[in-house]
Amino acid sequence: MSTIRMRAALLALTGAGAAALVACGSSQTGTGPARSSSPSAERALGTIVRLAAERVMTADTVAAAKWGTSRPIDDPSREKTVLGSAASQAAKLGIDEATVQRIFKDQIAANKDVQRALHAQWQEHPADQPTRRPDLATQVRPVLDRVDNQLLTAIQQAQPLLSRPDCDALIERGKATTVQAMSLDAIHRSGLDQALAHTCPAR
């Protein structure tokens, strides 16, 4: 996904696309728990989906930074730092640590899966290979830090919905809206699925 396309997709979500994400959680026609949830919690759940998509899209830049180098896709030290920071912030925000760890592990795994898929694609199709090598420290990590901080806030606000029976359905609606708004291709759709795989705890 090109930088221009990525920026256009994000702009779409900050406008009408973001509104659609909110609507997807509150437009159910039946009766039951979904009708009694707070609008703010539903907005937060939509925000989790949007931020997960943003995080998945950063994998393009990370993959380009590592392409043609000896840097591995797996970075256990960095992953440990991200998870440790998330756990520390979760404690300050009063968020269940297990929930945060579950969600952030999926976010990290999704980013790596997209990187691997892109490297495989570039290997098979040389014309698609990146022509420049971005700098992770200045072009990626600030974005990830922002997304991660916003994600923690959204998790805090969405906590009442995460344990509800219709949590998965709300996530699926948000994903459908996000995929359309961002025009995600198969690689990034798969990444988004992985990033949100355990947002709602298994029942």
Mean pLDDT per 10-residue interval, the chain, length 203 residues: 45 41 41 55 93 97 96 95 96 94 97 98 96 94 96 95 92 95 97 97 71
188: left (phi over 0), alpha (psi -120 to 50) or beta: alpha
Asked if 119 contacts 182 with a C-beta cutoff of 8 angstroms, the reply is no
What is the secondary structure of 71-113 as a DSSP string? Answer: --S--HHHHHHHHHHHHHHHHHHT--HHHHHHHHHHHHHHHHH
CA 176 from chain centre, in angstroms, equals 14
pTM: 0.81
| 75: phi then psi, degrees, rounded to nearest 5 | -135, 75
**pLDDT score of 83:** 97
Q: Phi-psi bin for 94: left (phi > 0), alpha (psi -120 to 50), beta?
A: left
| First-to-final CA distance of the chain | 35
pLDDT at 27: 40
